[in-house]
Amino acid sequence: MAAATTSPQASTATSPGAPPRLSLQRETIAADTTAIRSLDWDRSRFDIEFGLRNGTTYNSFLVRGERTALIDTSHLKFESTWLPLLREQIDPKAIDCLIVSHTEPDHSGLIGHLIDLNPEIEIVASKVAIQFLEDQVHRPFRSRAVKSGEQLDLGTNPDSGVQHRFEFLSAPNLHWPDTIFSFDHGTGILYTCDAFGLHYCSDDLFDVDPGAIAPDFRFYYECLMGPNARSVLQAMKRMDALPAIHTIAVGHGPLLRHHLGLWLDDYRSWSSERSTGETYAAVCYVSQYGFCDRLSQAIAHGIDKAGAQVQLVDLRATDAQELTALVGEASAVVVPTWPAQADADLQASIGTLLAALKPKQWVACYDAFGGNDQPIDTVAGQLRALGQKSAFEPLRIRQVPNTGDYQRCEEAGTDLGQLLTKAKTIAAIKALDGDLDKALGRLSGGLYVVTAHQGEGADARSGAMVASWVSQASFDPPGITVAVAKDRAIEALMQVGDRFVINILREDNHQELLRHFLRRFPPGADRFAGVSTLEGMAAGGPVLGDALAFLGCRVAQRLEGPDHWIIYAVVEQGNVSDTQAHTAVHHRKVGNHY
């Protein structure tokens, strides 16, 4: 199917103070197969940067052959309802095995409870997942580690006559390092947990309305799977070797059945687009250590925003051969501080990583804030031992990371991404036909500074950018569009529902402001230092003291263009400081610059 072109729209809302709505759904989806979906209608955030518009679901599945398997559990918040519903289906003692697709707490939150109810249950998962679970559940349990190609035969259900034979596919990084997919040869259902999922809560069990869910499907891909595009293609290659897949039973959102080919085509084409070039950045992290995974995702997201390719690499779970290839072939390598007392396996991985570095690579590092890390300057020194260039200053994190730290990581990632895409960007600018370029340059606009501010105290984040691609776009309600380059730092603050301010600059007093806001700011810098602002004038961001007028706006829609987001916003408030003055106008000569 064609790529969805808009980001998700706001649809559900709870009145302030009301408890979040949680409910459960149980349905038969194939022979001897029951889906138990935990519906989390009001969840509004997931991971860094991931604003949810339509809640989410956590899906688990019960499959009965001669023996019975449960696939994943639920979020701990469903403890009081999910376990009783499971009990209505089956005595937990009669569940022979629990297949754990990966160990992220929204799917594994009730595993400990299940082990208490049935200490004999066998946990079937990847080797890494079993190691993670030992640290998570703090109880002894029986386990079986499985790899790609291994099988689990539940035998034939005596009523249906269907044999449920599972085949496992390893799918590292989708989106956790320990992920496995499970394919039931009896029903043709592939269980993929996070991969192919979407955060979308509705009563629809299946993908009956593709138009409604496509924007969320795309958004989810971009946030979680895009930075792992190479791993997506590897996993899809393994899927190609399976017999016909009838349904993809995802861990979040509706199950994919009616339009399966379209969703698979989307994943394949989006991932191929992101994996075609030779250059990519390897962003390393140590799973389950400090804040490494979230920080690495913020850096990866920033790199991705700049249109550069990125590969997340778990130093704990990637074997030496793969690590050497991933690091050696990368154009840039980003590394966290690692534990001063790393275990032997991790030490060996770090040795492999350092040995695989090449002199011409960009390198950078960030604090994992794990408690007892190697000093970041030591790590930075080791990374540059062969004369490598530093892509950004070491990201020092001195406390439990807050919103500002994640913003700094994302902006540093974008700076790195821009280094990798520089040549491509220059080539694209030069490629414009001369006459067309001049003609396009006759389009003119005003001069504005877009500002945005969100959160308070440690969670505060803000941004600003000079803009001239601003235009009124509706009378009723009053609305405007602004084209925001995909790699702009402020783009993260202009999601649907977010507020921002357009400061309209004066013809007779704009040079100073332009000079200030067009400087290159280091990641996370306060862009308003030294600028006069009027606090409390507008809801979404600072109003500049020297602006001629301001417009307080709320983002209603985002249309995805090739290199810019076209952001349509409703104007909620506005004021003019001097009715006699004129707006600064920007005349250009060519269309390949602003």
Site of interaction with ligand FMN (CB under 6 A): 465-469, 483-485, 488-490, 518, 521, 586, 594
Of residues 146 and 464, the one with the C-beta less far from ligand FMN: 464
Q: Reply yes or no: is the peptide bond before residue 301 cis, omega within 30 of 0.
A: no
Alpha helices in 344-448 (DSSP H): 344-356, 376-383, 403-430, 434-440
Of residues 148 and 557, the one with the C-beta less far from ligand FMN: 557
CA-nearest of 154, 185, 155, 156 to 169 is: 185
Residue-wise burial string across 462-476, b where 16 or more C-beta atoms lie within 10 A, e elsewhere: bbbbbbbbbeeeeee
Tokens of 76: 């701990």
Q: Are 420 and 308 in contact (CB under 8 A)?
A: yes
Of residues 234 and 462, the one with the C-beta less far from ligand FMN: 462
Angle in degrees, CA 463, 464, 469, rounded to 5: 130
Of residues 107 and 586, the one with the C-beta less far from ligand FMN: 586
Least distance in Å: CB of 555 to ligand FMN?
15
Of residues 430 and 593, the one with the C-beta less far from ligand FMN: 593
Least distance in Å: CB of 510 to ligand FMN?
10
CA-nearest of 176, 175, 173, 125 to 147 is: 125
Least distance in Å: CB of 18 to ligand FMN?
38
Least distance in Å: CB of 290 to ligand FMN?
28
Q: Are 9 and 53 in contact (CB under 8 A)?
A: yes
Of residues 27 and 507, the one with the C-beta less far from ligand FMN: 507
Least distance in Å: CB of 459 to ligand FMN?
20
CA-nearest of 503, 477, 489 to 557 is: 477
Of residues 328 and 445, the one with the C-beta less far from ligand FMN: 445
Least distance in Å: CB of 467 to ligand FMN?
4
Q: What DSSP assignment string belongs to 230-294? A: HHHHHHHHHHHTSS---EEEESSSSBB-TTHHHHHHHHHHHHHHHH-SS-EEEEEE-TTSTTHHH
Least distance in Å: CB of 564 to ligand FMN?
6
Least distance in Å: CB of 449 to ligand FMN?
8
Task: Collapse the DSSP code of 15 into the 3-class scheme (helix H, G, I; strand E, B; otherwise coil) and give the result.
Answer: coil
Of residues 97 and 489, the one with the C-beta less far from ligand FMN: 489
CA 372/CA 379 separation, integer angstroms: 13
Number of C-beta neighbours around residue 346 at 10 A: 16
